[in-house]
Amino acid sequence: MFETVDLEVEKVDKNQKITAQSLNQYDAIAKTIRLTSDQIKQVVDSTGHQSEETKQIAQQVDIITKVAEDTASSTEEVAAAVEQLTASLEELSSRASELAAIAKDLESLDRSIS
């Protein structure tokens, strides 16, 4: 009978050791799960920040696009104004040449009268 009790005590000791090992393994698993959960939270936070930064970049690109469009429009307006000014200067030059010719004719007429 003592042998049976001794065997049962050994079984209980063995089972206690196995239980202790199992608890240690479960603790390790729980720790790993907590670490993984923390890392997932960090990834989610980083993704949120990245999404916000992407929106800000898109807004900045929109602003740059608007400035570029405004600049292109202004450049076109300046080019049109330069064309008008060039045409006006050409007309003025032509009129000045006509006036010079008239002045020359008047000068010749004045000499012939005198």
Q: What is the pLDDT of residues 18-51, one digit of tens each?
A: 999 999 999 999 999 999 999 999 999 999 899 9
How far is residue 20 from each of residues 33, 93, 101, 105, 112, measured CA to CA in Å? 20, 107, 119, 125, 135
Query: pLDDT value at position 31?
Result: 97
Where the chain has pLDDT below 50, the residues are none
d(CA 32, CA 38): 10
- Work out the percent of the chain whose per-residue pLDDT is above 90: 78
| pTM of the complete model beyond 0.75 | no
